[in-house]
Amino acid sequence: MRTGQAQVQVAGRFAALNRLRSFAKTDDVMTEYSLPLQDNAALRQAVDAEERDCVAKASHKTNDSFGVNFNNSIPKAVPFKFGQLVPLNLNMHQAGHGEWLEVDDARIWRFKVKSAGALSLSLYFSKFELAPNSELYIRGRDQVFGAFTADVNNKDDGVFGVAPVAGEYIILEYIEPIGNDRVSQIEVGHVVHGFRETPFSSVEAQALSGACNIGVACVDSVRSADQMHSVALLINGNGDSFCSGAMINNSARQGRQLFLTADHCINNNSVSNFVVGFNYQYQRCNDPLEPVPKPVTAHGMRLLTKSKESDFALLEVIEKIPDRYNVFLAGYDATPGARKVGSFYGIHHPRCDVKKVSVFSGNLDLIRVVDAGNKPNYWKVTSWAKGTTEPGSSGSPLFDANHSIIGHLLGGEASCSKTNSADYYGALSKDWSGPNSIAAFLDPTNKNVLKVDGGYLNVLRAASQYEGEIPSNNEGHKDTASSDSDSGSDSSSDTDDSDSDTSDSSSEDYSDSDSDSDSEDDVPSHGAGRGVSSIPPASYLQSSALLSSARSSHTVTVTATMTHVVTNFLTETVTVAR
């Protein structure tokens, strides 16, 4: 938050927005642009058919003594698609693109997009450069995201992505003081029409994943462990798909915001507009009185390194993650070896559902997956004793009994209907030794530290005072940060956060679908566990509060009104993915 004179100006602009919204009474009076009609049922059917086809191909796999061949179709080895991209070449300075108004000493630009039948809507900004002292808000049916500001959200590559808002319409509201020295540049390249239910599309409690999945609160040793606070949702692709992943510590214990996921979740996309969602879990096991959880978000990532040989990608969250999110950086174990024996568990978001846990006990053997590097780089979970994984679980971590990450999910045939089928996790030990080694980032001390304990981000950050700079290459490690080193962030912000905590999505979520009503203890607990407390999102502003506090007695001058906008809407061929 800026101080002094600027702080007073910010308060004044908020008042101007309040009066504008009161004058408008409801969003219905705004001129809106309607997107071409999307057929949700057809889009869902196409994606479901692709998933069935993927499983059918996998059923014809061939096994040998070295590994498994999925005939170029590995179940779950693509992101979980929930939305359809619709082009929208919107420019805030082009005539007819939105409306400009003057309220008191502020200029306000607004634009409303409607997509009939959408369960959610989100935007991808192809140009995003806010002027100093200006602010941008994104509004939906139930949410207000912002303020987005130049200080926090402008990035070198000039692109920006936001989390979805629930409902059929989305509104951009930009505000600047009259006579501002610099001009903002805002262009929206496309809108994502949500055709599948996600945590961001409804306030209602719904079960998104299969009934055999088990909530993290229903396994005692997982509920009491810190690791559940490291796992998060990843909105990837062009904002139309989901994967899972985990925050991970490094040997310097510097509080660097490292995020481990699968390479196939990146799929050659720029990661600068990716969004990560934390705390989407229930704190109690199957308690019908527990409120529906809400993910809280941080925006903008940088790709550090990745490899298809073991299907890993290491990203860095650019936006500072607020302390109140209670994020844990999980420890890791990259010790080499062809077999591990014991108890293991995975935490993930199947089909964008609340966090689930899958439990396995026995032998983990390294095998090769012909269609994913064709080297013995993958741990094989022969079958889950409890739970499973589904589309959307991709990239999620596999923990050992010491609660250390040892792998990340590639895919597999396991599902609620195929409980005896296997899943495959890229081995962290192979990420360490393979091409584009992860070691330069997980072991910046260059001491070949193969085991590191986890720690809470706020504690590690405070102790190290790490500010997020990218370190130079370490001698002895091959630093292979990709040329796709996107340097950006975005935020759904809380303007009252004193430590620049600017990433709160306050999005709507779904309830757990845990099948077990009683807590279980399947994973040995090592060390003292930390009690889990609910971390509610500190929403910046709610529409109802804005409208109730606003007054409609002030003059609002409309200087330009949108007539129609964007004629080059070309319906894309549906590309389906799991």
Q: Beta-strand (E) ranges in 226-268?
A: 231-236, 241-248, 258-261
pLDDT in tens, the chain (578 residues): 333 333 333 444 556 666 666 555 455 667 788 999 998 899 888 877 666 555 444 443 444 444 565 544 566 777 888 889 999 999 999 988 988 988 888 899 999 999 999 999 999 999 999 999 999 999 888 788 888 999 888 888 888 888 899 999 999 999 999 888 899 999 999 999 999 888 787 656 567 888 999 999 999 878 778 999 999 999 987 888 899 999 999 999 999 999 999 999 987 778 988 999 999 999 999 888 888 888 899 988 999 999 999 999 999 998 899 999 999 999 999 999 999 999 999 999 999 899 999 999 999 999 988 766 678 999 999 999 999 999 999 999 999 999 999 999 999 999 999 989 999 999 999 999 867 999 999 999 899 999 999 999 999 999 987 665 544 333 333 333 433 333 333 333 333 333 444 334 333 332 333 444 444 444 433 332 222 222 222 222 222 232 223 323 333 333 333 322 222 222 222 222 33
Question: Which residues sit opposite 339 in a β-bridge?
Answer: 365
Structure tokens at 178: 């009259």
- pLDDT for 560: 34
- pLDDT for 378: 94
Question: In the chain, what is the straight-line distance between the N-terminal and C-terminal CA atoms, in Å?
Answer: 41
Q: Which of 77, 475, 73, 577 is nearest to 312 (CA)?
A: 77
The three-state secondary structure class of 386 is strand
In whole angstroms, give the CA distance from residue 379 to residue 388.
16
- pLDDT for 63: 47
User: Quick count: other Cβ atoms within 10 Å of Cβ 127?
Assistant: 15
Question: Which residues sit opposite 235 in a β-bridge?
Answer: 242, 275
Contact 480, 174 (CB under 8 A): no
- pLDDT for 356: 95
- pLDDT for 293: 87
In whole angstroms, give the CA distance from residue 523 to residue 450.
22
Q: Beta-strand (E) ranges in 43-143?
A: 62-63, 67-69, 80-81, 83-91, 99-103, 106-114, 120-129, 135-139
* Cβ neighbours for 228, distance < 8 A, ≥ 6 positions apart: 216, 222, 281, 328, 347, 355, 532
Phi, psi of 79 (to 5 degrees): -60, 160
The three-state secondary structure class of 151 is helix
Q: Which of 346, 350, 344, 268 is nearest to 76 (CA)?
A: 350
DSSP assignment of 447-512 equals S---EE--EEHHHHHHHHT---PPPPPPTTS-----S------B----TT-TT-------------
In whole angstroms, give the CA distance from residue 314 to residue 298.
16
